[in-house]
Amino acid sequence: MKLFVIVALVAVASAAPQNPQDVQILRYDSNNDGLNAYDFAWELSDGSKHQEQGQLKNQGTENEAISVQGQYSWVAPDGITYTVTYIADENGFQPQIQQGAGGAIPPAVIASLVG
């Protein structure tokens, strides 16, 4: 499985136009034995990142399910980094979004606009 992922990444990278402004893969890690758990992480040269871990819960029962947690982030065109941290389990998808410095409108500005 790991060999297939590496070959696919190399194929995508070699098919892309060679331009200094293209986004590059800086890191890609993946561990998945197909049994009880997995994890992966990647990072791109544009500041985008994603990491995730999953684990099988209640294996062999009628309540068998996968529990996932992770986070991803990206840099928006305005230069602000946004990060989503999440859990996905028997309680559904539970994201939390955070903005980097400068990503929020100051409360005083909002108050002046609202009246």
- pLDDT tens across 64-103, in order? 899 999 999 999 888 889 999 999 998 999 999 988 877 6
Distance from C-alpha of 69 to C-alpha of 89, rounded to nearest angstrom: 8
Q: What is the pLDDT of residue 77?
A: 85
Closest CA to 71 of 92, 58, 87: 87
Closest CA to 65 of 44, 88, 85: 88
Q: What is the pLDDT of residue 14?
A: 42
- pLDDT tens across 18-61, in order? 454 789 999 999 999 888 899 999 999 999 999 999 999 998 89
Q: What is the pLDDT of residue 79?
A: 87
For the chain, the average pLDDT equals 80
Identify the sign of the CA torsion 14, 16, 20, 25.
negative
DSSP H or E stretch at residue 55: strand 49-57
Q: What is the pLDDT of residue 110?
A: 53
Q: Judge whether 28 and 42 are in contact, CB under 8 Å.
A: yes
- Tokens for 113, please give them: 């606009």
Which residues are bridge partners to 30 per DSSP?
A: 40
- pLDDT tens across 104-113, in order? 655 665 566 5
